[in-house]
């Protein structure tokens, strides 16, 4: 495991128990639209629903959840889409262990499998899949072109990719010095490789062979989530959890201020991409 993946694994091993205690099994943004008063956990469920509707996916038999956390989306997809097989991978062994418990409790042990594994080690023998689901994990992958090529190879003909990830705004105009400073802090605190614009992911998807590639910017619809996260982090129970988890997790919590700053500047974008293998 390379140095970046080691840092990501350590971060999520330490922070996952806090996230589960505060937010539950879904470790991703919520979708608010024009309803800013929406319950934040409901907003997280709604993000899954919105992404499926936007992608036109109503059923799937075999699903890959690439970067699955504790498998919140994986279990929801298994139930909603009627999938016989959902395979999820996460770098965190803590997340994989928690996912196994959740799968058992949900009665989905035979249909949903979560492994502690680097998604970039997946090969054709792990597939094929008719849906690949990548929800806020692509930002952790340095080689975006290789990621999109791998997804293409893992899909069966007619299969679909639904991807949501953190990006920076399109250029031109060029990023300002203050923009680079915000991005560098986020990359350091959240253990991320450099951000890219959504248009670059679209280009990588086309080069990989995908057809019907479509992208959208959902930043405004999800931006209220970070205010909710900051408020939750200030609760006494969360503060105690942060102190117990250690300095890397505390720094990750501090990075939430940089995320809100990035959204306000129009710098950080929440991009979604759908594509099909013909």
User: Among residues 240, 244, 215, which one has the least CA distance to residue 55?
Assistant: 215
For the chain, domains (ranges, CATH) are 3-276 (3.40.50.150)
- State pLDDT tens for residues 123-181: 999 999 999 999 999 999 999 999 999 999 999 999 999 999 999 999 999 999 999 99
Q: In what order do the strands lie in the sheet with 112-116?
A: 112-116, 85-90, 62-66, 129-135, 155-168, 268-276, 211-217
Phi, psi of 134 (to 5 degrees): -130, 95
Q: Torsions phi, psi of 173, nearest 5?
A: -70, 155
pLDDT score of 230 = 64
pLDDT band at 232 (very low <50, low <70, confident <90, very high): low
Alpha carbon distance 83, 80 (integer Å): 8
For 178-198, write each residue's pLDDT tens digit: 999 999 999 988 899 999 999
Q: List C-alpha distances in Å: 67 to 33, 90, 124.
A: 25, 5, 18
Strand partners of residue 211: 276
Q: How many CA atoms within 13 Å lie on the side-chain side of 259?
A: 23
């Amino acid at each position: 495991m390379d140095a970046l993946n080691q840092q990501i694994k350590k971060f999520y091993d330490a922070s996952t128990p806090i996230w589960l205690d505060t937010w539950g099994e879904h470790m991703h943004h919520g979708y608010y639209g024009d309803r800013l008063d929406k319950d934040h956990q409901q907003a997280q469920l709604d993000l899954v629903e919105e992404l499926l509707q936007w992608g036109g996916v109503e059923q799937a038999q075999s699903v890959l959840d690439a970067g699955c956390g504790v498998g919140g989306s994986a279990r929801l997809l298994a139930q909603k889409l009627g999938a016989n097989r959902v395979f999820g991978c996460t770098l965190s062994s803590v997340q994989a262990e928690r996912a196994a418990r959740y799968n058992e409790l949900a009665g989905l042990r035979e249909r949903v499998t979560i492994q502690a594994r680097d998604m970039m080690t997946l090969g054709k023998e792990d597939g094929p899949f008719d849906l690949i689901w990548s929800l806020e994990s692509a930002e952790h992958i340095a080689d975006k072109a290789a990621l999109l090529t791998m997804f293409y190879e893992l899909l069966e003909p007619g299969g679909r990719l639904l991807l949501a990830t953190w990006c920076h705004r399109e250029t031109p105009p060029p990023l300002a010095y203050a923009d680079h400073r915000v991005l560098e802090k986020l990359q350091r605190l959240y253990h991320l490789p450099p951000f890219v614009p959504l248009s670059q992911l679209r280009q990588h998807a086309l080069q990989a062979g995908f057809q019907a590639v479509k992208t959208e910017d959902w930043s405004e619809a999800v931006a209220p989530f970070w205010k909710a996260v900051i408020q939750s982090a200030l609760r006494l129970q969360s503060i105690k959890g942060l102190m117990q988890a250690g300095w890397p997790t505390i720094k990750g919590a501090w990075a939430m201020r940089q995320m809100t700053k990035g959204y306000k500047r129009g710098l950080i974008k929440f991009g979604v991409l759908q594509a099909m293998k013909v």
